């Protein structure tokens, strides 16, 4: 038992000292997006997507998830924000997937309820390797500033698919569109923070009874 404990401690030390950092650069005929992510950061964020409201939400992911993000994007803004918004979600999802690697030692699951004034949103997620989004937001207005609120769902569809996570978003209360969306991103950030943490009791092991994710 003593040897086993030493081995677990050794695996934990190795996992916590190994940087979980990834950079993904994705270029299409519509956008050019680069994302650098550090899962063991302090919440630093540089976001320049050309979509101010999306930049504000990306700052929420970094700040409340204690994830360092550097996201730079150029897109066909003269058409609309859809392609850039979606491709940022895709590239961020790919960066999550790369940074997590084989997912050894992570808690894997995250669940958080976040309030923002009258809004209350729950996010439950699982870095399962099985992409899925259940989306339960009822945003009452079509826009927040210049941002099309339909793009919130498109962002999370892209993020869930390319990070290979199962993601459930439920709105329990809320009437203000900005509050509902921001509570969602904050809940996502905190749920992600729980899920990517290294569990010292599982150090070196893939968090699945199958032994693979």
Q: What is the DSSP letter of 146?
A: T
What whole-number distance in Å separates Cα of residue 195 and Cα of residue 173?
24
Q: Does residue 94 lie in a domain region?
A: yes
Specify the pLDDT at position 15: 57
Judge whether residue 1 has pLDDT over 70. no
Q: pLDDT tens digits, residue range 105-150? A: 999 999 999 999 999 999 999 999 999 999 999 999 999 999 999 9
Three-state DSSP class for residue 152: helix
Whole-prediction pTM: 0.91
Residue 129 lies in a domain: yes
Burial code (b: 16+ CB inside 10 Å, e: under 16) for 145-179 equals eebbbebbebbbbbbbbbbbbbbbbbbeebebbbb
Q: Who contacts 190 (Cβ-Cβ below 8 Å, separation ≥6)?
A: 64, 65, 110, 112, 114, 123
Domain range for 35 is 2-202
The CATH number covering residue 66 comes to 3.30.230.40
Does residue 123 sit within a domain?
yes
Number of domains in the chain: 1
Residue 212 lies in a domain: no
pLDDT at 17 over 50: yes
Residue 211 lies in a domain: no
Say if 142 falls within a structural domain.
Answer: yes
* pLDDT band, very low/low/confident/very high, at 158 (cuts 50, 70, 90): very high
Residue whose structure tokens are 């099309």: 148
- Is residue 177 very low, low, confident or very high in pLDDT (cuts 50, 70, 90)? very high
**pLDDT at 2 > cutoff 50:** no
Answer yes or no: is 209 within a domain. no
Q: How much is the average pLDDT of 52-65? A: 99
pLDDT of 10 strictly over 80: no
- Is the pLDDT at 3 greater than 90, yes or no? no
What's the rounded Cα separation, in Å, for the pair 145 and 13? 46
- Inter-residue contact 57 to 85 (CB < 8 Å): no
Residue 207 lies in a domain: no
- pLDDT class for 64, splitting at 50, 70, 90? very high
């Amino acid at each position: 038992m003593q040897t086993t404990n030493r081995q677990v401690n050794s695996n934990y030390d190795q996992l916590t000292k190994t940087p979980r950092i990834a950079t993904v650069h994705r270029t299409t005929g519509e956008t050019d997006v680069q994302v650098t992510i550090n899962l063991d950061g302090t919440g630093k964020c540089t976001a320049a997507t050309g979509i101010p409201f999306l930049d504000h939400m990306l700052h929420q992911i970094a700040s409340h998830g204690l994830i360092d993000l550097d996201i730079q994007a150029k897109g066909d803004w003269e058409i609309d924000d859809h392609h850039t918004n979606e491709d940022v979600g895709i590239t961020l999802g790919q960066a999550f997937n790369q940074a997590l690697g084989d997912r050894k030692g992570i808690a894997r699951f995250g669940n958080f309820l976040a309030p923002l004034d009258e809004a209350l949103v729950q996010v439950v997620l699982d870095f399962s390797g099985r992409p899925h989004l259940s989306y339960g937001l009822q945003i009452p207005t079509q826009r927040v500033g210049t941002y099309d609120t339909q793009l919130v769902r498109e962002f999370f569809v892209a993020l869930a698919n390319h990070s290979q996570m199962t993601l459930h978003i439920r709105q329990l209360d809320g009437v203000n569109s900005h509050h509902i969306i921001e509570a969602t991103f904050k809940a996502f950030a905190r749920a992600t923070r729980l899920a990517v943490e290294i569990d010292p009791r599982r150090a070196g092991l893939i968090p699945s009874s199958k032994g693979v994710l």
